[in-house]
Amino acid sequence: MKTLGMYMAIAGLASIVLYFMNMQLTLLMWIDNWGETTGWIIRGGLVVVGAALFLMGPDSPDPEEKDQA
């Protein structure tokens, strides 16, 4: 889940930065179809949910612990 969260947060942040440069990620071009406010809600949601998944995701197990189990 950490990896998914990281990718979501990065995509949200990239979308925010590119918006101010009058560009958009191809994967996220649809988010402004419902208006600018909805687009910002989706961008912010990507960052918040991605960060939450990253922070709440379990740490990868140490190789030593994996061998003992």
- Digit-coded pLDDT (tens) for 3-61: 999 999 999 999 999 999 999 988 888 888 989 999 999 999 999 999 999 999 887 66
Q: For the chain, what is the domain count?
A: 1
Range of the domain at 54: 2-68
Q: Can you give the pTM of this predicted structure?
A: 0.78
Q: Which of 52, 61, 64, 68 has its CA nearest to residue 6? A: 52
Secondary structure (DSSP) of 29-50: GGGGTT-HHHHHHHHHHHHHHH
